[in-house]
């Protein structure tokens, strides 16, 4: 199977984000592969381990996103493709057009994986838009994949502990989430080997696309203020609970 996995180079979830300017941020923080994309990558690797074929990691990002492609190569992707842009935040429509063109220029996908969302812009829609561009069906929040003949049986989480089982024809786009599998960690020898693997770089312009041509624009980023510290409720568990209930009633939250 020829499987393309779309990944995003994002600030580490543990990083403290410092807003700079109206809509920028201090990009000197550590960047990693978007955690949800790791589940997609792992699933692709497990599938090709059984069926044979190739996993190709694709990203749209700055030059620095090469490091996330290297991580993908270190855990087992065969090749990488970087579509270069100057912005950390591209409109999801534009991102999906870039992904579609890069994928179709490279080969014919039997399956496309990605995370259900990025942890930085949290748009939650790139899988859907990419599927539209590729003219494929799409399922996100995927926690189970069973491949069959020309179709896949997919489980998705729909909240409240409910799961939907869906039948989807192949090729398709799947948006992975936690619970699908346990992503592997790269091992040192593989990290070294990954340095020799091929990463193809193309510019947005090579694909006939232009940075900043999307239909959404981030006007402003604001830090959510931290609370200043708790009012401690003293006394025995019983006394503290009584105080708490009185406060919560006063605040009209219960």
Partner 1 sequence: MAQTGILLETDNGEIKEANFGVITAARETGDNEVVGFLMDGSAEACKAAVQEYGVKSVIEIKAGAGDFNASPELQANALAEAMRHYEVSALLGLSSTWGRDLMARVAAAMDAPLALDCVGVAVRDQIVTKSHFSGKTIAKIKLEGDVFLCGIRPNAIEAAPAAVEASTDVYTASAGDSGRLKVVETKGATSGVVELTEANVIVTGGRPIASTENFSILKACAQELGAAVGASRAAVDAGYAPHAMQVGQTGKTVSPKLYIGCGLSGSVQHFAGMKTSKIIVAVNTDKDAPIFTKCDYGILGDLFEVVPALTEVLKEQG
Residues 221-250 that bind partner 1 (CB under 8 A): 221-224, 226-227, 229-233, 236-238, 240-242, 244-245, 247-248
**Options 6-14, 44-52, 60-68, 102-110: segment touching partner 1 (CB under 8 A):** 6-14
Shortest CB 189 distance to partner 1, Å: 27
Residue-wise over 149-168: b if at least 16 C-beta within 10 A, else e?
A: eeebebbbbeeeeeeeeeeb
Residue nearer to partner 1 on the CB measure, 49 or 218: 218
Between CA 55 and CA 246 the distance in angstroms is 58
DSSP, collapsed to helix, strand or coil, labels residue 59 as strand
Q: Which of residues 26-55 bind partner 1 (CB under 8 A)?
A: 35-36
- Yes or no: say if 44 and 88 are a contact pair by the CB < 8 Å rule: no
**Options 47-55, 76-84, 150-158, 192-200: segment touching partner 1 (CB under 8 A):** 150-158
The verdict on 87 binding partner 1 (CB under 8 A) reads no
Residue length, the chain? 254
Shortest CB 11 distance to partner 1, Å: 7
- What Cα–Cα distance (Å) separates residue 39 from each residue in 33, 113, 198, 229? 11, 9, 22, 36
Q: Which position among 1, 2, 23, 197 is part of the footprint of partner 1 (CB under 8 A)?
A: 23
Residue among 236, 233, 227 at smallest CA distance from 246: 233
The verdict on 219 binding partner 1 (CB under 8 A) reads yes
Between CA 83 and CA 5 the distance in angstroms is 14
The verdict on 162 binding partner 1 (CB under 8 A) reads yes
Q: Which helix (H) or strand (E) holds 78?
A: none
Q: Which position among 49, 64, 165, 198 is part of the footprint of partner 1 (CB under 8 A)?
A: 165
The verdict on 121 binding partner 1 (CB under 8 A) reads yes
The verdict on 150 binding partner 1 (CB under 8 A) reads no
The verdict on 147 binding partner 1 (CB under 8 A) reads no
Residue among 144, 123, 138, 8 at smallest CA distance from 72: 8
Q: Which position among 5, 11, 84, 113 is part of the footprint of partner 1 (CB under 8 A)?
A: 11
Residue among 71, 34, 78 at smallest CA distance from 55: 78
Q: Is the dihedral of CA 78, 83, 85, 91 positive or negative?
A: negative
Question: Phi and psi at residue 158, in whole multiples of 5°?
Answer: -120, 15
**Options 77-85, 156-164, 186-194, 204-212: segment touching partner 1 (CB under 8 A):** 156-164
Cα atoms found within 13 Å of the Cα of residue 196, Cβ hemisphere only: 4
The verdict on 93 binding partner 1 (CB under 8 A) reads yes
Residue nearer to partner 1 on the CB measure, 143 or 191: 143
Q: Which position among 21, 161, 189, 208 is part of the footprint of partner 1 (CB under 8 A)?
A: 161
The verdict on 120 binding partner 1 (CB under 8 A) reads yes
């Amino acid at each position: 199977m020829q499987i393309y996995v779309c990944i995003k180079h994002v600030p580490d979830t543990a990083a403290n984000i410092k807003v700079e300017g109206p809509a920028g941020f201090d990009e000197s923080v550590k960047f990693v592969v978007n955690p949800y994309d790791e589940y997609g990558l792992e699933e692709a690797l497990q599938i090709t381990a059984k069926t044979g074929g190739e996993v190709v990691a694709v990203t749209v990002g700055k030059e620095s996103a090469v490091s996330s492609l290297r991580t993908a190569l270190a855990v087992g992707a065969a090749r990488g493709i970087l579509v270069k842009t100057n912005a950390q935040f591209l409109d999801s429509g534009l991102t999906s057009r870039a992904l579609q063109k890069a994928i179709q220029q490279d080969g014919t996908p039997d399956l496309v994986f990605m995370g259900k969302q990025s942890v930085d812009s949290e748009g939650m829609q790139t899988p859907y838009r990419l599927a539209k561009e590729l003219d494929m069906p799409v399922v996100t929040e995927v926690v189970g994949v069973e491949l069959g003949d020309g179709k896949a049986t997919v489980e998705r989480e729909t909240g409240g502990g409910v799961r939907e089982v869906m039948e989807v024809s192949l090729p398709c786009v799947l948006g992975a989430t936690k619970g699908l599998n346990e992503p592997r960690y790269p091992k040192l020898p593989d990290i070294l080997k990954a340095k020799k693997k091929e990463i193809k770089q193309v510019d947005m312009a090579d694909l006939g696309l232009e940075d900043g041509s999307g239909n959404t624009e981030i006007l402003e980023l604001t830090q959510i203020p931290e609370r200043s510290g708790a009012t401690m409720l003293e006394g025995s568990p019983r006394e503290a609970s009584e105080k708490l209930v009185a406060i919560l009633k006063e605040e009209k939250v219960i």
